[in-house]
Amino acid sequence: MDGFMMDIIKGMCIMDNDGNRILAKYYDKNILSTLKEQKAFEKNLFNKTHRSNTEIIMLDGLTCVYKSNVDLFFYVMGSAYENELILLSVLNCLYDSISLILKKNVEKRLVLESLEIIMLAFDEICDGGIILDADPSSVVKRVDLRNDDIPIAEQTVAQVLQSAREQLKWSILK
Amino acid sequence: MGSFRRDKDEEEDGPTNIYQNLEKTSVLQETRTFNETPVNARKCIHILTKILYLINQGEQLAAREATDCFFAMTKLFQSKDVVLRRMVYLGIKELSSIAEDVIIVTSSLTKDMTGKEDLYRAAAIRALCSITDHTMLQAVERYMKQCIVDKNAAVSCAALVSSLRLATTAGDVVKRWANEAQEALNSDNIMVQYHALGLLYHIRKSDRLAVSKLVNKLTRSSMKSPYAVCMLIRIACKLIEEEDIPSEELSDSPLFTFIESCLRHKSEMVIYEAAHAIVNLKNTNPRVLSPAFSILQLFCSSPKATLRFAAVRTLNKVAMTHPAAVTTCNLDLEGLITDSNRSVATLAITTLLKTGAESSVERLMKQISSFVAEISDEFKIVVVQAICALCTKYPRKHTVLMNFLSGMLREEGGLEYKTSIVDTIITIIEENADAKESGLSHLCEFIEDCEHVSLAVRILHLLGKEGPFAATPSKYIRFIYNRVILESPIVRAAAVTALSQFGASCPALLSNILVLLGRCQMDPDDEVRDRATYYLSILNSEKPELYKNYIIERENCSLALLEKALSDHLNGELNSRFDISIVPKAAIVKEEISNDMMLITNTPRVPKITREEESAARLALLPGIQVLGPIHRTTAPIQLTESETEYTVQCIKHIFAQHVVFQFDCLNTLSEQFLENVRVDLTLPEGYTTRAVIQCPKLAYNELQTTFVIVEFPPDAASSVASFGATLRFVVKDCDPVTGEPDSDEGYNDEYMLEDLEITVADQIQKTKKNNFQVAWDAADSEEWLQAEDTFVLSAVSTLQDAVNSIVKILGLGAANLSEKVPEGTHLHTLLCSGNFRGGAEVLVRAKLALSEGVTLNLTVRSTDQDVAELITAAIG
């Protein structure tokens, strides 16, 4: 591939603490192109990484940098020849963006609640393997466009209860 | 309490379950909501998210479903909700490859891309480019150019990145955007800078002068983006390698000065990139290396695992090229052996093993055994490979290493891990005669309790091959016969074959073997019984030549070529019998030894194919090639021009029984020339006749095309060794360097001198590997075989090893019984080698060498063809 200098990211992935894929994107047509290969790779990756938090691992000819928080695992994959620090900078951007979007509560439930925004963030960080942006604040500025005040009429009972509970929780914690 | 707990669990799980158990059809049904007016943005976002989630989980949409969904989505352009619009773009990108008629949204996207809302524009550009093809690009070209230089950084980035994507399919259009990219390069935004550099480089990369100008300019201005600087370092490195700057002039090169200055950059990313680049340069000297190595050494003790990993990986990679420099980091590497990150620890230990001295082997092995149980199989394999390299380097240490390996073999582990250990032991056995007995007994122990059928079969095969020639062959028979009693049919069959090898090669054991084989005839499995009966009847015949041909040396045909020969035969006239002897024997394929121990792959290994099999497929396209019969041998390519001349030509010789096909791969490096009717004219030596010339009709700039010449060998083998003059002839047409179209139909003839070609003896011989040369040699002492003998004094070489190397090279034969390795400190040596001459004549060579003021050589050649035997003796003189 001629674009060897720009196609840096081979894949990005978020998994839960059972190793299930929440979001995953693979950018190189020649690597892990089928679902079966991807699932096998993810299973292997998760087994190798979920117990030890050591930041970086080589697997199946890919360099994977990773980070975990509460019940989530974040991975960024690059070729075995790639500058690991570039990959790390992308991982940090992915994690920090999500942390900003979720107001520091990086956990599975909230990720799923804001899944659309997280999907947009994925898309803003990497476009088909090229790093599009690595600055979390500028990524978040472009994707977190939600209008927080939901008209009360459109909220479901569960959502109302949820927000009430959150408020209660915070008032107790204070 | 219990019920409370359950309630709590349900509560917790409740919201997480929204995306679980989604069903594709029902979610796709929900897309009907998209048609409602006014659009309920919240609801639609949720549905779109569900669809994208399903796709991301790997759910496949059929073209029909995707198209329906895509069209439903287009309704959502009515809504002004920002998030919804962005999700629609995302949906377009995801579905664009599956759905049909996606171009329908072009106008909506173009509107968003040129509109006022910045939040739409950047994402709209990227969505648009995912659905645009070459023809439609013209329509949006103007907008793209504007967007590249847009003052909004996100828009500019999106346009630049999309242009890079488009460049693969519509390179000529994107080339016209170079000026805009150049302007974007001056942007203050770091990402815009980076992407602009990427695009500019891509546009110019085939023009070295332009790249070099670009780099020289940029290295002087300091770029802010660390990514851009990293990329610039890579480009600079590529230029340095291409220009082949000698090591002593490196410090004067502005390119290198730039890379060196990056070692003092404030970003670690750039510092590492620069250090990595310097240590990987081809031509370096200790003075320029030392600062780079100090950086890597510093990184080794960093608290960040990634930095340590990066540093050790780099050190590991260059351990073979710069052992001395890597040794200076040994102290730091030893500190990393106990690193909490196992990848770092393993890399550290393998680096140490690569650079380690013979004296430190024991200490290192002790250190490895302290942690080997904790690491994953992949890394164990890396360690095993490092040990394998070490064995080759220090053959005297084989006892320590072999014991260590057999210890590893006894531990738990997967098939791949065990395979790599067995491979290593086999390599040691093959390379080191002293280690053979102990290696074989370790392997015997291993198959006593081996769950992997494939490994047991391999080891049994090896025992059958090597066991009969060990000091006490009888001790292996018990291990082998145990397999016949205890194992599955496949292993039993392999054991029967191994037993028969002992019967054929050790007359003393024959009667015992016959009893054992007789018992195997009662086996419940067909294959085992068949093999036992087969070997029993051969061994009962007591004819040594039958032993040789049907037990000891059963050569296998190259399967790919056998298949081809058989299908050719079926397509032919079928009035003659198929002759299997003309199919080339399976040759040993040398594996590429990669210096990079880093790659740990689980991907299945690509089946190895020989050059002959590769070229058979390629030559099959030539008209009339079938009459030449099956291919005998393909030589490695030879350059007939200097590199970096106007035209570069390389030649590959395909040898057939009576013909040689010269394949010329031509490359035209002049962008203003278009060549036609390209062919190579050969000046033939006496005896050779040209049979056909296949021209290459068109050779455009930078395209690799091929032309062939088919020549028949002279009838007598003696005059087949000759040299050929070669000239490249063609018609030149001037053309436009950009489009490659010829300016006019007028062209003129021109020619270009190439270097001379040679056909040597080695070209005509396919090497074979005899398991037991002596048996073959003795059997060749019969009437069908002819012998030639001669004595020479080789004055050009001073050591026996050099003499052996050059004989093997000149004759192109395969050495047997490890005789290509001359033991140290000896004055006499016998080289045994064998091969097949084109046309099928077998060749056996025994070369006795003696060292005394130069090397004296007594060469005995036995062959089924007198001419060939003489040709070979003549080749040495």
Confidence class for position B586, pLDDT limits 50, 70, 90: low
Nearest Cβ partner of B198 from A6, A55, A142?
A6
Chain B interface, mutation test: which of A39, A59, A79, A84, most B Cβ atoms within 10 Å? A84
Query: Is pLDDT of A93 > 90?
Result: yes
Confidence class for position B612, pLDDT limits 50, 70, 90: low
CA distance B19 to B27: 11
Query: Is pLDDT of B383 > 90?
Result: no
Confidence class for position B555, pLDDT limits 50, 70, 90: low
Choose the most confident range, by mean pLDDT, from B5-9, B32-36, B643-647: B32-36
Tell me the pairing of strands B647-655 and B659-668. antiparallel
Taking CB atoms and an 8 Å limit, are B235 and A5 in contact across chains? yes
Confidence class for position A148, pLDDT limits 50, 70, 90: low
Query: Is pLDDT of B602 > 50?
Result: no
Chain A interface, mutation test: which of B309, B344, B347, B375, most A Cβ atoms within 10 Å? B309
Taking CB atoms and an 8 Å limit, are B272 and A24 in contact across chains? no
Give the CATH H-level superfamily of domain B765-875: TATA-Binding Protein (3.30.310.10)
Give percent above pLDDT 90 in chain B: 9
Contacts of B123 in chain A (CB under 8 A): 123
Query: Is pLDDT of B22 > 90?
Result: no
Q: Residue A14: what pLDDT? A: 94
**3-state SS of chain A?**
CHHHHCECEEEEEEEECCCCEEEEEECCCCCCCCHHHHHHHHHHHHHHHCCCCCCEEEECCEEEEEEEECCEEEEEEEECCCCHHHHHHHHHHHHHHHHHHCCCCCCHHHHHHCHHHHHHHHHHHEECCEECCCCHHHHHHHHCCCCCCCCHHHCCHHHHHHHHHHHHHHHHHC
Contacts of B79 in chain A (CB under 8 A): none
Contacts of A142 in chain B (CB under 8 A): 119, 122, 154
Q: pLDDT tens for residues B308-329?
A: 999 999 998 888 788 888 888 8
Nearest Cβ partner of B53 from A113, A115, A123?
A115
Q: Residue B309: what pLDDT? A: 92
Q: Is the peptide bond before B38 cis (omega within 30 degrees of 0)?
A: yes
Taking CB atoms and an 8 Å limit, are B309 and A84 in contact across chains? yes
Contacts of B48 in chain A (CB under 8 A): 116
Average pLDDT taken over every residue of chain B: 82
Contacts of A61 in chain B (CB under 8 A): 599-601, 603
Taking CB atoms and an 8 Å limit, are B231 and A5 in contact across chains? yes
Contacts of A56 in chain B (CB under 8 A): 305-306, 309, 341, 343
Element (H, E) at B828: strand B828-837
Write out the CATH class of domain B630-759: mainly beta
Instruction: Give domain limits for chain B.
Output: 480-555, 630-759, 765-875
Longest dimension (CA), chain B: 103
Taking CB atoms and an 8 Å limit, are B309 and A133 in contact across chains? no
Confidence class for position B286, pLDDT limits 50, 70, 90: confident
Task: Name the closest residue on chain A to residue B271, using Cα atoms.
Answer: A85
Q: Residue B273: what pLDDT? A: 93
Taking CB atoms and an 8 Å limit, are B82 and A145 in contact across chains? yes
Confidence class for position A4, pLDDT limits 50, 70, 90: low
Q: How remote is the C-alpha of B682 from its chain's centroid?
A: 34
Confidence class for position A2, pLDDT limits 50, 70, 90: very low
Q: pLDDT tens for residues B475-492?
A: 898 899 988 888 888 999
Q: With a threshold of 0.95, tell me whether the complex ipTM lies above it.
A: no
Q: Span B440-465, mean pLDDT?
A: 88
Contacts of A86 in chain B (CB under 8 A): 227, 230, 269
Taking CB atoms and an 8 Å limit, are B342 and A54 in contact across chains? yes
Q: Residue A131: what pLDDT? A: 92
Q: pLDDT tens for residues A20-76?
A: 999 999 998 888 888 888 999 999 889 888 877 778 988 888 899 999 888 899 999
Contacts of B269 in chain A (CB under 8 A): 83, 85-86, 89
- All structural domains of chain A: 9-173 (3.30.450.60)
Please report the number of interchain residue pairs, chain A to chain B, with beta-carbon separation below 8 angstroms: 160
Chain B interface, mutation test: which of A41, A53, A85, most B Cβ atoms within 10 Å? A85
Q: Residue A66: what pLDDT? A: 93
Q: Residue B230: what pLDDT? A: 92
Taking CB atoms and an 8 Å limit, are A120 and B90 in contact across chains? yes
CA distance A87 to B230: 13
Taking CB atoms and an 8 Å limit, are A116 and B49 in contact across chains? yes
Q: Residue B233: what pLDDT? A: 92
Confidence class for position B606, pLDDT limits 50, 70, 90: very low
For chain B, the 3-state helix, strand and coil shares in percent, each to the nearest 5, are 60, 15, 30
Q: How far is B199 from chain A (nearest CA, A)?
A: 9
Query: Is pLDDT of B146 > 80?
Result: yes
Taking CB atoms and an 8 Å limit, are B83 and A154 in contact across chains? no
Taking CB atoms and an 8 Å limit, are B122 and A59 in contact across chains? no
Q: pLDDT tens for residues B37-48?
A: 788 888 888 898
The count of C-alpha atoms lying within 13 angstroms of the C-alpha of B872, restricted to the half-sphere facing its C-beta, is 37
Residue in the structure block whose two tokens are 């569900």: B50
Q: pLDDT tens for residues B721-770?
A: 888 888 888 888 888 777 767 777 778 888 888 888 888 888 888 877 77
Q: pLDDT tens for residues B46-68?
A: 898 999 999 888 888 888 888 88
Q: What are A89's two structure tokens? A: 């900078």
Q: Span B402-406, mean pLDDT?
A: 86
Q: Residue B598: what pLDDT? A: 35
Element (H, E) at B644: none
Query: Is pLDDT of B607 > 60?
Result: no
Taking CB atoms and an 8 Å limit, are A85 and B268 in contact across chains? yes
Q: Residue A174: what pLDDT? A: 56
Q: Residue A15: what pLDDT? A: 93
- Residues B705 and B647: beta-carbon distance below 8 Å: no
Task: Name the closest residue on chain A to residue B40, using Cα atoms.
Answer: A154
Choose the most confident range, by mean pLDDT, from A118-132, B119-133, B383-397: A118-132
Task: Name the closest residue on chain B to residue A122, using Cα atoms.
Answer: B90
Cα angle at B171 between B168 and B173, to 5 degrees? 135
Confidence class for position B595, pLDDT limits 50, 70, 90: very low
Confidence class for position B579, pLDDT limits 50, 70, 90: confident
CB-CB neighbours of B614 under 10 Å? 12
Nearest Cβ partner of B602 from A60, A127, A143?
A60
Residue A18 CB-density burial (10 A; 0-12 exposed, 13-18 middle, 19+ buried): exposed
CA distance B535 to B267: 71
Can you tell me whether residue B433 is helix, strand or coil?
Answer: helix
Q: Residue A128 — φ and ψ, nearest 5°?
A: 55, 35
Contacts of A84 in chain B (CB under 8 A): 272, 306-307, 309-310, 313
Contacts of B164 in chain A (CB under 8 A): 3, 6, 130
Q: Residue B103: what pLDDT? A: 81
Q: Residue A97: what pLDDT? A: 94
Taking CB atoms and an 8 Å limit, are A58 and B343 in contact across chains? yes
Confidence class for position B594, pLDDT limits 50, 70, 90: very low
Q: Residue B338: what pLDDT? A: 79
Taking CB atoms and an 8 Å limit, are A133 and B276 in contact across chains? no
Contacts of A21 in chain B (CB under 8 A): 56-57
Average pLDDT taken over every residue of chain A: 84
Q: Residue A56 — φ and ψ, nearest 5°?
A: -150, 145
Confidence class for position B599, pLDDT limits 50, 70, 90: very low
Taking CB atoms and an 8 Å limit, are B86 and A113 in contact across chains? no
Query: Is pLDDT of B856 > 60?
Result: yes
E-strand ranges in B164-228 read none
